[in-house]
Amino acid sequence: MGHYQILISRIFAPGRRDVSDEAPGEEDDVSRVLVLNTGSSSVKYELLSDGERLASGEVERIGEPGSPVADHEAALKIVADELKERDLGIDSPELTAIGHRVVHGGTTFTEPTLITDEVVEDIERLIPLAPLHNPANLAGIAVTRRLRPDLPQVAVFDTAFHSTISPAASTYAIDRETAVRLGIRRYGFHGTSHAYVSRKAALLADAPPANVIVLHLGNGASASAVSAGRCVDTSMGMTPLEGLVMGTRSGDLDPEVVFYLSRTEGLSIDEIDTLLNRRSGMLGLCGDNDMRAVQKRVAAGDPDAELALSVYCHRLRKYVGAYYAVLGTVDVIAFTGGVGENSAPVRERALAGLGALGITVDPVRNERGESLISPDGAVVKVAVIPTDEEFEIARQTLEIVSRTNSE
């Protein structure tokens, strides 16, 4: 039991964030927020007290064959028990609010929103647009609302930060009536990460307003172009499948590939959906979706891993060029997410050959993983900025709670 428990549930150490991350709110009014990020097969949680992490952890492999965690209810019970064991229970009177990551807010939600029955119904209505993500998010919301009906709970949407992108960037060139009727348009995702990282990146610019490109490279990956704090374009679309090459997702693809697979291989729509979302990307290209494993194989001269890494970095470079054109000028390019924060080869290869645009990477700084990896005096600053989605969700949750309290 002990061994398996460690495999499915990791508890992270408490820690303090840097002082520039101070949460909003009254100075002597301690705000304790529980953040839940309920994914399709995992639940991540973090308990923050005025920006300080009191506890955090993750329950993985929910519902997978052989996993003792059958469903989200069971996973949330593990989270609740873990918190209780450390005297930080969800029933604690010191808890101020609960913040939930919700992946798809459609056009209904462009801001973090206090959760009511009506809000839950609206999130349910958006399930067809995010069939893997929104039901999991709703499971988390249902459990904590049952446990703490007295507490303000806030939904923080992945899509919200991208609601400022213009119709020119968000509209697909398909039949207008069909698109409008069914909500077929580009929404974008990872918004809390793009919001947090672009805000930090802008502080590095010589003078405001800053133009920033954020490259969020985790298991899912997306790029965004941000001008004066507002998102103007992003690489994910109606769903998190569009755009960059990811761990298991293809990213951009000629839609005709889907019809071709159906006609020639007789694959069903669901089978093709699974193929493109779960068995493509780096996994489909070389059999490994973990970038560390891919890099090891590249270093050993493996041609499949080399092709996979070159496809990944070529796509990134294309988006950097595209967003340079969209923004006109660029002050900062920020790498974030597990790959962006840790992979020197990806950062180096993605930006290679862009010297004419003022974009260069200093190899020594890059290899050391310094926070600024461009040379001194570079036109475009290239930065490595660790993302913190949980902190950002807590920040936005408190903002809504204090706004509601003062109304």
What is the binding site for ligand UVW (CB under 6 A)? Answer: 39, 103, 158, 189-190, 218-220, 240
Contact yes or no for 17/51 (Cβ under 8 A): yes
Nearer of residues 164 and 277 to ligand UVW, judged by Cβ: 277
Nearer of residues 42 and 96 to ligand UVW, judged by Cβ: 42
Nearer of residues 42 and 113 to Mg ion, judged by Cβ: 42
Q: What are phi and psi of 103, to 5 degrees?
A: -75, -50
Q: Say whether 37 counts as a known binding-site residue.
A: yes
Point out the catalytic residue in the list 29, 117, 150, 158: 158
- We find the least distance from the C-beta atom of residue 220 to ligand UVW, in angstroms, to be 2
Q: What are phi and psi of 310, to 5 degrees?
A: -70, -35
Residue 135 in tokens: 């039901």
Contact yes or no for 193/336 (Cβ under 8 A): yes
Q: Which among 55, 148, 59 is positioned nearest to 98, based on CA atoms?
A: 148
> Which one of Mg ion, ligand ADP, ligand UVW, none is in contact with 335 (Cβ closer than 5 to 8 A by kind)?
none
Nearer of residues 331 and 389 to ligand ADP, judged by Cβ: 389
- We find the least distance from the C-beta atom of residue 208 to ligand ADP, in angstroms, to be 28
Site for Mg ion in 224-243 (CB under 5 A): none
Q: Say whether 390 counts as a known binding-site residue.
A: no
DSSP H helical segments within 288-384, as ranges? 291-299, 303-327, 337-342, 344-350, 363-368
In angstroms, the CA 130 to CA 134 distance is 6
Please give the residue whose beta carbon sits closest to ligand UVW in the complex.
220
Q: Say whether 217 counts as a known binding-site residue.
A: yes
Let me know the angle formed at the C-alpha of 352 by 348 and 353, rounded to the nearest 5 degrees.
170
Q: What are phi and psi of 318, to 5 degrees?
A: -60, -40
Nearer of residues 212 and 244 to ligand UVW, judged by Cβ: 244
Confirm whether 252 is a catalytic residue: no
Following DSSP, what letter does each residue of 198-256 receive, concatenated?
Answer: HHHHHTTSSSSSPEEEEEEESSSEEEEEEETTEEEEES--SSTTSSS--SS---S--TH
Site for ligand ADP in 160-219 (CB under 6 A): 218-219
- We find the least distance from the C-beta atom of residue 365 to ligand ADP, in angstroms, to be 16
> Which one of Mg ion, ligand UVW, ligand ADP, none is in contact with 103 (Cβ closer than 5 to 8 A by kind)?
ligand UVW
In angstroms, the CA 34 to CA 156 distance is 13
Following DSSP, what letter does each residue of 6-27 receive, concatenated?
Answer: HHHEEEEPPBPPPGGGPPPS-T
Q: Say whether 340 counts as a known binding-site residue.
A: yes
> Which one of ligand UVW, Mg ion, ligand ADP, none is in contact with 290 (Cβ closer than 5 to 8 A by kind)?
ligand ADP
The DSSP symbol for 240 reads T
Nearer of residues 129 and 354 to ligand UVW, judged by Cβ: 129
User: Contact between 251 and ligand ADP (CB under 6 A)?
Assistant: no
Site for Mg ion in 180-219 (CB under 5 A): 218
Task: Spell out the residues 6+ positions from residue 407 whose beta carbon is closer than 8 angstroms to its own.
Answer: none
User: Contact between 367 and ligand ADP (CB under 6 A)?
Assistant: no
Radius of gyration of the chain (CA): 21
Residues belonging to the binding site for ATP are 44, 216-220, 290-292, 338-342
Residues found near ligand ADP in the complex (CB under 6 A)? 218-220, 247, 290-292, 295, 337-339, 342-343
**Active site amino acids:** 158
Residues found near Mg ion in the complex (CB under 5 A)? 218
